[in-house]
Amino acid sequence: MEWFVRRVLVALCIIVSACGSLTVSANELSATNGPSGTPSADDGWPDASAFLEKKYGFLPIIIPITEPAVGYGAAGGLLFLSKPLSSAEAGLGRPDMTMVGGLGTENGTWATAVGDVRHWFDDRVQTVAGLVYASANLDFYGVGKDLGLEAHPLHYNLRPAGGMLQGKYRIGNSRVWAGMSYAFAATQVEFSAPEGTAGIPDFQRHSNVGGVTPSFTYDTRDNIFTPLSGTYVEATVGLFSEALGGDDEFQRARVILMQYIPLFPRIYLGVRVEGAASFGNEPFYLRPYISLRGAPVMRYQGEEVAQLEAELRWQFWKRLSLVGFVGGGAAWNHFERFDSTQTIVTGGTGVRYELARAYGIHVGVDLAFAPDNTAVYIQVGSAWARP
């Protein structure tokens, strides 16, 4: 679901991340009765683990949105968690999660979504399903470097409605999963500039996208919320065509690697490497883009994208951590010639609080710096969350 949501409706990735990142409302944390927010038995600091250990129940989600591409706003909803994570093995034993929610931002962007992540047959099969309806107000800077659009981007509205269904099967007793997904979206696109304006891409006002995506995933992370160790590798190849419900023929390929390494007691390193490419008549809004803290969503698009980000977290005192991160990415057209290349380097710092020790959930805030932008991000769990 993630590639579909991120590239079709911008900030809804914040809600999807909530499928692997939990929090509770301010009222729950401040309650004087009941388990939520009560001091931890081992250190006396506020801890939400007891609340989350309820086997069944809906959890409130409230997440501020600080994405530069759409402005400030909030995402909210309810998340159902089937079981705690304290006894989970690396890569296995994770809870079933069902979510319903929505978001809105100051520039008029809004979205509603329903999502479900479920495990079957003793962790042999995982299913992911989602439905999305959204309206995103964005700026178009071109696919690849465009000096005219870089100075004067074109405003447009993207209104997708669709869904996806994915199934993954674990091979033997390994941590390797083979998967297949189907996604469909009916999308409306409208530019505020009149037809014929320089820089407007070829597009259809009303179009359908439909396709299947085989995938292979290797996952040994010790935790899906704030991993301390382990590896996550995923390779996908998307095949979209008229025969599968779409209006265009195109393909997408993507590889992502995340490695988590405990360097010293209470010091943890994370590294993310990602590459993506698109081929054929893909709609401009589905072209790959650089996804780094500090880089506005869909600002740096190209037919091909490569990026690298590293993060160091030091849990320096009890439940408090300091975070430092740096990343770089490039987007270009035509793999052989590297035409219209755009590059960006970002970095920043942040703080974390260990909100739920039994689940390994850390929450906090990041301040990210880019050449033309400074952004604040509210983090619940890892900045690179994957269910």
Task: Write the CATH number for 198.
Answer: 2.40.160.50
Residue 381: pLDDT band with limits 50, 70, 90: confident
Q: What is the pLDDT of residues 316-343, one digit of tens each?
A: 999 999 999 999 999 999 877 778 899 9
First to last CA, the chain: 10
Answer for the pair 140, 154: CB distance below 8 angstroms, yes or no: yes
Distance (Å, whole) CA 244 – CA 225? 34
Q: What is the pLDDT of residue 28?
A: 33
Residues 6+ apart with CB under 8 A from 372: none
Residue 266 structural domain: 2-380
The rounded distance, in Å, linking the Cα atoms of 3 and 294 is: 19
Q: Do the domain assignments include residue 256?
A: yes
Quick one: pLDDT band at residue 79, thresholds 50, 70, 90? Answer: confident
What pLDDT, in 10s, does the model give residues 59-71? 677 888 888 899 9
Residues 6 or more apart in contact with residue 61 via CB below 8 angstroms: 15, 18, 22, 23, 75, 76, 77, 78, 79, 99, 101
The arithmetic mean of pLDDT across residues 177-195, rounded, is: 94
Contact assessment for residue 190 and residue 200, using Cβ atoms and an 8 Å cutoff? no
For the ranges 3-12, 215-224, 289-298, which has the lowest average pLDDT?
Answer: 3-12
Domain count, the chain: 1
Domain-embedded: residue 386: no
CA 326 vs. chain centroid, Å, equals: 18
Does residue 336 fall inside a structural domain?
yes
Residue whose pair of structure tokens reads 């992911």 in the numeric block: 128
Q: Is residue 46 situated within a structural domain? A: yes
Q: Is the residue at 387 inside a domain?
A: no
- Which residue, chain included where needed, has tokens 């696109």? 189
Cα 140 vs. chain centroid, distance in angstroms? 21
Residue with tokens 């997408």: 252
Is residue 79 in some structural domain? Answer: yes
Nearest-angstrom CA–CA distance, 346 and 309:
9
pLDDT of residue 31: 33
Cα separation of 346 and 178, whole Å? 34
Q: Is residue 93 part of a domain?
A: yes
**Residue 385: inside a domain, yes or no?**
no
